[in-house]
Amino acid sequence: MEDKILFPNENIITTDFFNVSQDWEVPIPGFFIIAPLRKLKSIDEFTDEEANEYITLIRKVRKGMRDVLKIEEVYFFQNEDSEHGFHLWIFPRYKWMDKFGRKIQSVRPIINYATENMLSDDIFKEVREYVKRMKEFTSDF
């Protein structure tokens, strides 16, 4: 699969320490990434102030996903070995994903399926709508 940046400008919020945005490459609405603004490898490198903001931000984003986007279940993946440095994936679970299973091993096939079969104007519109709604929800952060 060729890496393509599909959503370079779909940012939800940037705080003093973090950025939350739609995953750049995967056309799954509500697949969000929280990344620190400074280059870090691990959560244990956070300052106390960063750590406090991080958990508050995760809770705010997750609440918006449930209350505003109606996403009932997500997977959280903390990544420390990426060339992009530390980041947290908030990966939504939709009914259409059930055919791939409900274990961690299901995520790569779901991502592959999405990048091969969900490159449509309707999905892109839904991604942008979800980002817009989450921006509104997090505007008081």
Domain CATH number, residue 58: 3.30.428.10
Beta-bridge partners for 89: 33, 77
| Residue 121 resides in a domain | yes
| Residue 30 resides in a domain | yes
Q: Phi/psi class of residue 59: alpha, beta or left (left: φ > 0; alpha: ψ in -120 to 50)?
A: alpha
| Residue 5 resides in a domain | no
| Residue 17 resides in a domain | yes
Residue 136 has pLDDT above 60, yes or no: yes
| Residue 82 resides in a domain | yes
Q: What is the model's pTM?
A: 0.92
> Rounded CA gap, 130 and 57, in Å?
17
- pLDDT bin (cut points 50, 70, 90) of residue 3 is low
Question: Which residue segment(s) compose the domain that 91 sits in?
Answer: 11-138
| Residue 78 resides in a domain | yes
